[in-house]
Structure 1
Amino acid sequence: FKRTVCETLEEALKEHPYLKDYLDKLPEKPKYVLNLDLEEYGKDTNLLYPLGLGIYVHIDVGGEIGKYNLIEPEKPDRQLLDDIEAAVAKIVVDKEYKGQKENVLASLFRQVIKMKMVKIPKDIDESAVLYHFLREKIGHGFIDGFLADPWLEDVSIPGAGKVFVYHKMFGHLETNIEVSKDEINRLLRDISERYGKVLSYTHPIIDIHLPDGSRFNIVYGEDISLRGSNFTIRKFPQEPISVAQLIRWRTFSPELGAYLWMLFEVGISAMVCGETASGKTTTLNALTCFINSDSKIISIEETPEVNLFHKNWIREVTRLHTGVPVTMFDLLKAALRQRPDYIIVGEIRGEEGRVAFQAIETGHPVLSTMHAGTLGQLFQRLTSHPIEVPKTHIDGLNLTVFQARMERGKRFIRRVTSVNEIIGYEPEEARLNYLPTFIYDADLDRLRFMGSSFHLETKVLTFRGWGKERLRELYDELKARAEILNFLAENFPRFTDVWKTCIAVREKGVWEVYHRVKEMKVPWE
């Protein structure tokens, strides 16, 4: 098989006959697209796109649950793969092989076939056998195709039966891959052994971090998972989603991006809040490009999800299952002695929240996420057990960004629903004072700026040494930055591009970069 992507459907059909066999059985041919785009293809419900490696995905949304069909070379008989593995084992000599594992195994495979140690039936494509042999030996079995799809957020199987996925554009989908209890158990044992984890009926729950950054959670055995062993893979992009991409997907507005850009430059403490699957961590990571590139940052997480471009980045994770436990509470206390410019906490759930607010009180900006749908819920969670932040300390938090996952037709979207500036807490009235600066208009599907910002007019002006007479200049700059971000969203949406633009703004000034954008030039050159 070739690790290429076919530019046209005609080329794909010629290169991969199994794709033609699949499409010939469909009543309606799907639209072939090379790159998914939420705005361009978000309303389509019958799409086909390539993943490379000879793998294709067919999305067909409709009915009880949408379908995600993985199209790949047909898997040969189990016995044939076992025979090839045994034959390869016989000819492997006790020496170190140079080159990539894939190339070495492919060479050994061809030797076995050439020496006629194993005979492949004429009606079976040799390249298909090689594909599945390599996938089992150095891949992750039947889940490799899913791992290759950058549009998937979750891959899971609830037990014997179908694999399910969560697609960034179409939400939950049922796949065409079906596996037995024995196949699941065999795969999970092989993968856990490869990564040095003990998986057994006495140790049935483990977490594995895959090389691409994905988190693999396993629950093993029918005694605790009645439908049989199950797993969930949480996928993370190798390059973070950028603010420009969030603007392109209309999760953000350019004005909101510009507003947060100006505030993060001066060092504010903020929380990104929302319910499950609302995109909190994605937004948090996107916002890190606005933190000055020379800042010292410490990130603290239970599971490593944050991915920064800063060189002076200390990345810490908890240790709960081996040796002496090290909790987020422990890591946060240690972080206060390391003089960071910013502390990023993956998610606040427990007593570490008190330490985070102590950090804020001592002048360390903190960026974090939290499960809360409204400002009232956030206040309740922060001040109740087990977090128990004193109510009078809540005003150390400058800003809250609330996100939600919504359904639009047959697809799901994520939107920032409100941005609130925390002004202070009034003990006499037991009331948290805040000002909404952005509010989501559901009818227009638009995020509206309320026209002014308390924090821009106080924190940013003070930081720059400006007086009130320069307020108009401040808001003109907000508009200029919004135009820069809108230009990036339309032309250079990658995180790398936004990162380089932020550095250029800091080095050359907003207006020089703005004029380059108006001339349709690359912002950072």
Structure 2
Amino acid sequence: MACRFVVVGAARDGVGKTTFAVNLALSLLKETRGRVMVVDLDVGGVGDVATLLGMTEIRTIGDFVPYVAQLTPQTFGPYIQAHPTGIGVLPLAANPQAARKLAPEGVRQVLDLVAPLCDYIVVDAGAGVDPINVLAMERAAGIFLLAEPTPTGLAATRQFGDHLQSLHFPHALVKVVVNAHDPQSPITREAIAARLGRPALVIFPKDDALTLDAALKAAPFVMDQPRAALSRHYDELVRQLVEKGVLDQLAAVERGKGQQVGGKLAVDVTQEQDKAIEGFMKARGGNRGKGAREMDARTRLKMLIHKRLPEVLDLKRMDREIGTRPDKDKLLRERAEAAVAKVLDEEGASVTDRNERRRIVKEVCDEALALGPLEDLLADDRVTEIMVNGRDNVFAEINGKLRRTEFSFTDDAQLLAVIERIVTPLGRRIDEKSPMVDARLADGSRVNAVIPPLAIDGPSITIRKFAREPLVVADLVRFGSLTPDLADLLRACVQARLNIVISGGTGSGKTTLLNVMSSFIPEDDRIVTIEDAAELQLRQPHVVRLESRPANIEGVGEVKIRDLVKNSLRMRPDRIIVGECRGAEAVDMLQAMNTGHDGSLTTVHSNSPRDAIARMETLVMFAGLDLPSRAIREQIASAINIIVQVSRLSDGSRRILSVCEVVGMEAQTITLQEVFAFKQTGLDANRKVQGTFGPTGFVPKFVSKLAELGIEVPHGIFAPAGHATIPRGRA
């Protein structure tokens, strides 16, 4: 028979926990004649077990931890000290100070050595929960909570049981033992069950004289006074545990015998529950999705929990109670997890594996409070983009490669709820009248959502993730996106207040590069950023962040990017950064660049520097100004100094492909001069793009401006290997 761990705990100290643990172990020894040990893991009451047994100079877990790697169960066995009755005794440490220094991993390794040597190990755990207690409980065939028969004691025990439930220990694994009950007390068995929310496994009668005498003589009463009524209660409890199979039943709970089918936990869902699920889905508008019987059993269980959750969890009331506390989100999550764990015990009793319970509780809370299946993808640092094409198709860009994931939504209603959860805090809306929206997550990640009738196959979400810590220029150099020489040149250009446009396609890394280049701006500059959905993560102290706003439900209140650019000119900015020029705001941006607001930065969607010029010209025309093409081009040529072209290559990497200087006008054409360029040479064995990035040999005109400002840039960085630089000119 495998070793059975029996863990004895309590909500608080002083309830007779150690007395119970010692006498239970001795009763097990009498009844089974097996190999029984008491392990004292109570950090606050170190040595109490040895004291009750009259043992001194006893070896402890702390003594063995330094040598655990050299020991086996066979070599470890002779070191275990036994009480004259025959039970082994193993305290945690010599004193509380030494106990607190022990790491749970060392304790776990010693328990691994002890387990093969015993049939039963009774663990005297500390009151409450700490990492060492949890370590023992994870091994438990049964967890017994000692409770004193008072209103406060029973309430504390019930709360402690609920807490263990929230830590994903199955409700059926935890049993309550009421200690020292006075038969004359007005708190009857029925009252005890009502206050605990469950019947007690056993209620021990009060016998202060017997327990005190046993403690003074260091002779446990089940051995010293076996005919006493209290001793007989212990013997009866052990017979229940061993002969009637209660401990075996609890051990089966601990092992988790939920049947696995196709990698999913099979949970019996009745026909009535199926009807409840169907009604719940219909009520919440889940018109597109699988019916209850088409779902796997695990999903059906989660839907049952969602249906029951409003009965046990009033989020609005909790929100009012918690108010504006800084840890509000954490508290809401903790209470929700406790409620979900309680419903899981009621609706999914066959789910007894602790890890599986933890996963189900997390998923339900993610779906009820957060972004559901997307939470795991958002937490994965390898993921840079997430694309949801309806409830069943969730794609992610992982390490630069687009892949279909295993995640899915139960139905359209769940997916729509996630979208609402994103846009509502931002004061935005999405409905049939306004079926598209741009938004952002709390970490700055950009979100676009489209719903039916525009999205034919169901709601669609695209999330551009932002790194938890903003990338810096050293990261881009390490990734191979640019060279150290080019990084130094771009830094010099920003510090010299040149106007820079970053050009590239969707997902090419424009915003990331803009964020990195913005970090080169001196800290004493006043910076105004203007975006559709705020993404930039500037670290300078003097930053004003502005964000456009769509019209409200009455169709009024819209604030466009162009409005913000105009307003920013009245805010005394040193720098204006527009996240992306995509409309008539381009004309205001160019005017700002041409009227003393040097050092401005923006991005445009285009495939080459030449296309970027044409794109800017087209955007200016959106303003409805009746300007001739030459006048627009002259504005562009005088406003923009540099165009940086970025691209996402076939292997998923993002690189700067070209850096061009805007030289001026020649006839009707804006003249560009390429200063740096990337040349692809092929693919390696892993299909990674190979190529070289370097100077073209032309020295840009802006070098003279850098020199005037005292910003030195060695001319050698503009010379290709083995070639001299070409004097400043045009290309």
Cα distance in 2 between the residues matched to 1:386 and 1:108: 50
SS in 1 for 2:706: helix
SS in 2 for 1:394: helix
SS in 2 for 1:454: coil
Match of 1:386 in 2: 622
Task: Report the CA distance between 1:134 and its aligned residue.
Answer: 2.6
Q: How does 1:499-518 map to 2 (within 5 A)?
A: none
Residues 485-520 of structure 1: CA deviation (Å, up to 9, x unaligned): xxxxxxxxxxxxxxxxxxxxxxxxxxxxxxxxxxxx
Cα distance in 2 between the residues matched to 1:208 and 1:434: 36
- Is the counterpart of residue 235 in structure 1 residue 475 in structure 2? no
Aligned length: 402
Cα distance in 2 between the residues matched to 1:452 and 1:246: 24
Match of 2:648 in 1: 405
Summarize the Cα distance change of 1:164–1:313 in structure 2 as closer, same or farther, 3 Å threshold.
Answer: same
> Given that residues 252 and 415 in structure 1 are in contact (C-alpha distance below 8 angstroms), is that contact kept between their aligned partners in structure 2?
yes
Match of 1:164 in 2: 395
Task: Report the CA distance between 1:339 and its aligned residue.
Answer: 2.6
Summarize the Cα distance change of 1:94–1:453 in structure 2 as closer, same or farther, 3 Å threshold.
Answer: closer
Summarize the Cα distance change of 1:117–1:393 in structure 2 as closer, same or farther, 3 Å threshold.
Answer: closer
Match of 2:311 in 1: 86
Residues 396-441 of structure 1: CA deviation (Å, up to 9, x unaligned): 2111111111113xxx1112111111121123xx232332211112
Cα distance in 1 between the residues matched to 2:589 and 2:367: 45
- Structure 1-normalised TM-score? 0.68
Among 298, 307, 316, the alignment partner of 2:537 is 307
Cα distance in 2 between the residues matched to 1:377 and 1:115: 59
Summarize the Cα distance change of 1:103–1:130 in structure 2 as closer, same or farther, 3 Å threshold.
Answer: farther
Higher RCO, 1 vs 2 (CA within 8 Å, ≥6 residues apart) = 1
SS in 2 for 1:287: helix
Match of 2:577 in 1: 344
* Contiguous gaps of at least 5 residues in structure 1: 1-13, 26-73, 467-472, 480-525
* Contiguous gaps of at least 5 residues in structure 2: 1-134, 139-167, 169-254, 264-297, 624-628, 682-689, 719-731
Residues 345-388 of structure 1: CA deviation (Å, up to 9, x unaligned): 11112222122121121121221111122232122222233266
Match of 1:326 in 2: 559
- Is the counterpart of residue 457 in structure 1 residue 703 in structure 2? yes
Match of 2:372 in 1: 141
Residues 76-99 of structure 1: CA deviation (Å, up to 9, x unaligned): 432134334423449x88972475
Query: What is the identity, as a one-letter code, of the residue corresponding to 1:83?
Result: R
Among 352, 357, 361, the alignment partner of 2:594 is 361
Cα distance in 2 between the residues matched to 1:440 and 1:95: 57
Summarize the Cα distance change of 1:84–1:160 in structure 2 as closer, same or farther, 3 Å threshold.
Answer: closer
Cα distance in 2 between the residues matched to 1:264 and 1:240: 18
Match of 1:121 in 2: 349
- Is the counterpart of residue 205 in structure 1 residue 451 in structure 2? no
Residues 18-51 of structure 1: CA deviation (Å, up to 9, x unaligned): 9xx99x99xxxxxxxxxxxxxxxxxxxxxxxxxx
Task: Report the CA distance between 1:151 and its aligned residue.
Answer: 2.9
Task: Report the CA distance between 1:288 and its aligned residue.
Answer: 0.9
Task: Report the CA distance between 1:225 and its aligned residue.
Answer: 2.0
Residues 119-139 of structure 1: CA deviation (Å, up to 9, x unaligned): 541434332333233323332
- Is the counterpart of residue 424 in structure 1 residue 664 in structure 2? yes
Residues 450-488 of structure 1: CA deviation (Å, up to 9, x unaligned): 355334531111122x9xxxxxx7418979xxxxxxxxx
Summarize the Cα distance change of 1:450–1:80 in structure 2 as closer, same or farther, 3 Å threshold.
Answer: same
Summarize the Cα distance change of 1:441–1:278 in structure 2 as closer, same or farther, 3 Å threshold.
Answer: same
Summarize the Cα distance change of 1:190–1:392 in structure 2 as closer, same or farther, 3 Å threshold.
Answer: closer
Match of 2:528 in 1: 298
- Is the counterpart of residue 375 in structure 1 residue 621 in structure 2? no
SS in 2 for 1:407: coil
Cα distance in 2 between the residues matched to 1:437 and 1:187: 46
Among 655, 680, 703, the alignment partner of 1:442 is 680
Cα distance in 1 between the residues matched to 2:675 and 2:366: 51
Cα distance in 1 between the residues matched to 2:344 and 2:653: 54
Task: Report the CA distance between 1:238 and its aligned residue.
Answer: 3.7
Q: Higher Cα Rg: structure 1 or 2?
A: 2
Task: Report the CA distance between 1:110 and its aligned residue.
Answer: 4.1
Moved more, 191-200 or 208-217: 191-200
- Structure 2-normalised TM-score? 0.50
Moved more, 284-293 or 77-86: 77-86
> Given that residues 298 and 313 in structure 1 are in contact (C-alpha distance below 8 angstroms), is that contact kept between their aligned partners in structure 2?
yes
Cα distance in 2 between the residues matched to 1:115 and 1:182: 22
Task: Report the CA distance between 1:290 and its aligned residue.
Answer: 1.2
Query: What is the identity, as a one-letter code, of the residue corresponding to 1:463?
Result: L
Query: What is the identity, as a one-letter code, of the residue corresponding to 2:705?
Result: K
Cα distance in 2 between the residues matched to 1:424 and 1:352: 22
Match of 2:412 in 1: 181
Summarize the Cα distance change of 1:280–1:187 in structure 2 as closer, same or farther, 3 Å threshold.
Answer: closer
Summarize the Cα distance change of 1:183–1:447 in structure 2 as closer, same or farther, 3 Å threshold.
Answer: same
Query: What is the identity, as a one-letter code, of the residue corresponding to 2:714?
Result: Y
Query: What is the identity, as a one-letter code, of the residue corresponding to 2:489?
Result: Y
Query: What is the identity, as a one-letter code, of the residue corresponding to 1:123?
Result: V
SS in 2 for 1:141: coil
Summarize the Cα distance change of 1:161–1:331 in structure 2 as closer, same or farther, 3 Å threshold.
Answer: same
SS in 1 for 2:386: strand
- Is the counterpart of residue 151 in structure 1 residue 382 in structure 2? yes
Query: What is the identity, as a one-letter code, of the residue corresponding to 1:377?
Result: D
Task: Report the CA distance between 1:267 and its aligned residue.
Answer: 0.7
Summarize the Cα distance change of 1:87–1:421 in structure 2 as closer, same or farther, 3 Å threshold.
Answer: same
Summarize the Cα distance change of 1:186–1:455 in structure 2 as closer, same or farther, 3 Å threshold.
Answer: same
Task: Report the CA distance between 1:289 and its aligned residue.
Answer: 1.4
Moved more, 339-348 or 119-128: 119-128
Among 450, 454, 469, the alignment partner of 1:219 is 450
Task: Report the CA distance between 1:191 and its aligned residue.
Answer: 5.3
> Given that residues 106 and 134 in structure 1 are in contact (C-alpha distance below 8 angstroms), is that contact kept between their aligned partners in structure 2?
no
Task: Report the CA distance between 1:276 and its aligned residue.
Answer: 1.7
- Is the counterpart of residue 475 in structure 1 residue 688 in structure 2? no
Among 261, 264, 268, the alignment partner of 2:491 is 261
> Given that residues 157 and 163 in structure 1 are in contact (C-alpha distance below 8 angstroms), is that contact kept between their aligned partners in structure 2?
yes
Moved more, 138-147 or 252-261: 138-147
> Given that residues 385 and 397 in structure 2 are in contact (C-alpha distance below 8 angstroms), is that contact kept between their aligned partners in structure 1?
yes
> Given that residues 113 and 119 in structure 1 are in contact (C-alpha distance below 8 angstroms), is that contact kept between their aligned partners in structure 2?
no
Task: Report the CA distance between 1:304 and its aligned residue.
Answer: 1.1
Summarize the Cα distance change of 1:421–1:132 in structure 2 as closer, same or farther, 3 Å threshold.
Answer: same
Task: Report the CA distance between 1:206 and its aligned residue.
Answer: 3.2
Moved more, 346-355 or 243-252: 346-355
Task: Report the CA distance between 1:111 and its aligned residue.
Answer: 7.2
Residues 269-290 of structure 1: CA deviation (Å, up to 9, x unaligned): 0111112221111111111111
Task: Report the CA distance between 1:174 and its aligned residue.
Answer: 0.4
Task: Report the CA distance between 1:246 and its aligned residue.
Answer: 0.9
Summarize the Cα distance change of 1:395–1:101 in structure 2 as closer, same or farther, 3 Å threshold.
Answer: closer
Cα distance in 2 between the residues matched to 1:289 and 1:138: 35
Match of 1:106 in 2: 334
Summarize the Cα distance change of 1:183–1:142 in structure 2 as closer, same or farther, 3 Å threshold.
Answer: same
Match of 1:39 in 2: none
